Structure formats: structure tokens, C-alpha cells
Amino acid sequence: MLRMVGTGALGVMALCISQLCSGQAVSGSNQTVPGSKRDSRLEAAEADVSLLKRLVKEQDRRIAELEKTVKSLQSSSSATNEKPTAHELDKSIFKPAARWQNPLAWTQIRKGISRAQVEEILGTPTSVESVVDYQTLFYKGDVAGSGAVSGVIKLTDDRVSEISPPAF
């Protein structure tokens, strides 16, 4: 594809040069100045063609290098002949989020529900502080797209009294 673009560009430049060399004007306003040895348009066209040739050569080199790398990677992966299953790929790429990291789970938390119900909805808290009949459940961690977030649930006599959901 890149070679076709480069070849097409070179063809257009060659057409312009051939028109200039044969005395035809590419546009009516740019005529050769009488008495000048070389037309400045011809020099500009030649410089453009030279630049395009260098660009095409560099792209050819880069494409060949990339093709070599891809071929090397393909041969090394086929040599092991062990392809991971879709489930293994999912586990290696996407870590399952904790239940508390789901914003919809926090909408189910209401004042008056028990700690057991909270843990059933959100999972085990990352840390807990307890003072007599008062407990604070902390849910902290990194959430994709939100960074480090934290949510807090305060319990009085094992019932939710305050809810501070994470800012997802």
C-alpha cells in the first residue's frame, strides 16, 4: 500500500517534470522568465522527486524490518506450539474487579442493613476499625479509569449508619 502511494506520487512528479521540460506550463500564471537558465519550478519539482525517492526508500527499509520482526515472532510462537486458551488470556489481561469496585453495588447499600448484608453485596472490606459498638468498614484500592478510590461504611450496633461511596 505504501509502495503504491509512493509510486503514485513519483508518477505525478514525473508528469509535472515532463510538462516543464517540454515547455508546457502546469498553471497559466507560472511562466518561465525569459533569460533565466533554469526554471525555478523545475528545480522545485526535482527537489520534491528526490525527497520522495528518499522517503520511499526509508519506508521500504522500515517495512522490511517490521516484516522480519513479525516473521520472527510468528516462528517463535509456533515453535512452542502451545497456544493459551481464551480463558487464560482473559485472566492474564483483565483482572476481575472486586465487587466493591462496581458502582452499582454501592447503590444497594442502605442505612439499617447488617454488616453481613454489606459484605454479601460488596465483599470483604480492605480494612476495619472497631470501637466498642461502632465499626468503620474501609474499601480502598485502584480502579481502572478512576485511579485510587475509597469508600467508607460506618456501622452502629452492627447496622449501617453512614455510607460514603467511592468517587468512581
CA torsion sign for 115, 120, 122, 128 is positive
- Regions of the chain with pLDDT less than 70: 1-37, 77-96
**CATH number, domain containing residue 158:** 3.30.1450.10
* 87 assigned to some structural domain: no
Among 46, 80, 114, which residue terminates a domain? 80
What's the longest Cα–Cα distance across the chain? 104
Q: What is the DSSP letter of 32?
A: P
Q: What is the pTM for the complete model shown?
A: 0.44
Backbone angles phi, psi at 140, to 5 degrees: -130, 150
Summarize pLDDT for 24-70 with one digit per residue, the tens.
Answer: 544 444 455 555 567 889 888 888 888 778 778 878 888 888 788 88
Place of cell 528545480: 43
- How large is the C-alpha radius of gyration of the chain? 35
